Amino acid sequence: DFVNIVILLRGVLGKVDQDYVKKEYQMRRAPYYHILLWITNALVVGIDCPEVSSFIQDRISCHLPDSIMLPDLNFWVTKYQMHKCSIYCTRKIIFGKTYVSRCRFNFARPVQDSICINDVENSLKSCIKIY
């Protein structure tokens, strides 16, 4: 299992002192995880900002597989792992005198070349946003 082999045994994020893992399933039976890790001598967000950004960029990445080199993987990622707006997430909001449809999860988001870590205050502001 990915969590046990990559995260806990290989220690790609550092030595894990404690962990909490909860596995859930989406409607299409695709598993996803909620993971909380306590890592020895971990950097602290808000105090070690440049070091935290560097740590994340060195270990975590995301990209869409090439459609020529890996057509099957590209198909599966595009079909099942990318957000597509539906009735569930689309909200109509008043914009002037008209209604505009907007995704409540703020997709599509622009691609970023560098990492951006919000401070606690800005993160909490986004939690009280009215959709």
Average pLDDT, the chain: 82
| Domain limits for position 94 | 83-131
For residue 129, tell me if it sits in a domain: yes
Q: Which residue has the higher pLDDT, 107 or 7?
A: 107
The model's confidence at residue 37, banded by pLDDT at 50, 70 and 90, is confident
Residue 14 confidence (pLDDT) above 80: yes
Beta strands in the chain (DSSP E): 16-25, 31-39, 90-95, 98-103
Q: pTM of this prediction? A: 0.60
Give me the pLDDT at residue 74, please.
95
Count of domains observed in the chain:
1
Question: Residues 80-115, buried b or exposed e (16+ Cβ, 10 A)?
Answer: eeeeeeeeeeeeeeeeeeeeeebbeeeeeeeeeeee
Residues paired with residue 46 on neighbouring β-strands, in sequence order: none
The model's confidence at residue 67, banded by pLDDT at 50, 70 and 90, is very high
Rounded-to-integer distance, Cα 105 and Cα 94, Å: 17
For residue 57, tell me if it sits in a domain: no
Give me the percent of the chain exceeding a pLDDT of 70: 91
Residue 129 confidence (pLDDT) above 60: no
Beta strands in 73-115 (DSSP E): 90-95, 98-103
For residue 109, tell me if it sits in a domain: yes
Rounded-to-integer distance, Cα 66 and Cα 72, Å: 10
Residue 65 confidence (pLDDT) above 90: yes
For residue 108, tell me if it sits in a domain: yes
For residue 30, tell me if it sits in a domain: no
CA contacts within 13 A on the Cβ side of 98: 3
